[in-house]
Amino acid sequence: MKAGIFFTGSGPILLLTSYESLTEPALVEKLATKGVKKFIAFEVPIDQAQQKYGQHFKVIMADLHQQDDLRILDYDGHHVFNLFRLKELGAPIFHEP
């Protein structure tokens, strides 16, 4: 499982995925079908996401209505942006079709 912050045209989102990479073609295609075609992503250690989101993380992981390969942990861009320090983030991943 990987966690990533995706900066999109409508703001940042934090998602969890079972894909090996945040640029896996199947993940990029799935995001595109949801309207996210261009993004800057930062991988976040899964344990850090779990620590910051606590019980909410467990609820999202147990949600049977979400697909196993893509789960949105937080779509409140303001919350995501303020919860993570920029210096904690690794190298950016740029994607543009």
Structure-token match 């990987």, residue found: 2
Q: Is the dihedral of CA 9, 19, 5, 71 positive or negative?
A: positive
Supply the pLDDT for residue 66: 59
**Structure pTM?**
0.88
Q: How far, in Å, CA of 22 to CA of 32, rounded?
A: 13
Supply the pLDDT for residue 65: 57
Separate counts of helices (H) and strands (E) for the chain: 3, 5
Give the tens place of pLDDT for each residue, 32-76: 999 999 999 999 999 999 999 998 888 888 875 556 688 889 999
